[in-house]
């Protein structure tokens, strides 16, 4: 996040984009209170405008490129 607000809890699988309902990876914490949740696509679309209006952005889109752990059975 970019501002002085307390860090928000990590986004969970149950958190959904307020625009399209996909899994949320971006949280915009608004200066007047409250927050908006966005998928990666809508997060990219709206983050700069929200940030320029004072919102703090929690971006967890890096989770989309994480590789799953390989189990011993899969190593063969």
Asked if 50 and 40 count as a contact pair (C-beta separation under 8 A), the reply is no
* 42: confidence class by pLDDT, cuts 50, 70, 90: very high
* 3: confidence class by pLDDT, cuts 50, 70, 90: very low
Query: Rounded to two decimals, what is the model's pTM?
Result: 0.77
Q: Return mean pLDDT, the chain.
A: 87
Q: Residue range 55-67: average pLDDT?
A: 91
Asked if 20 and 38 count as a contact pair (C-beta separation under 8 A), the reply is no
Confidence at residue 67, expressed as pLDDT on a 0 to 100 scale: 72
Confidence at residue 75, expressed as pLDDT on a 0 to 100 scale: 55
C-alpha gyration radius of the chain = 15
């Amino acid at each position: 996040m970019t501002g002085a607000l307390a860090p928000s809890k990590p986004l969970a699988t149950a958190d959904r984009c307020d625009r399209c309902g996909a899994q949320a990876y971006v949280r915009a914490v608004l200066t007047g209170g409250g927050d908006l949740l966005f998928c990666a696509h809508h997060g990219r679309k709206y983050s700069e405008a929200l940030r320029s209006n004072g919102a703090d952005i929690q971006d967890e889109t890096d989770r989309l490129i994480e590789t799953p752990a390989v189990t011993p059975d899969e190593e063969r």
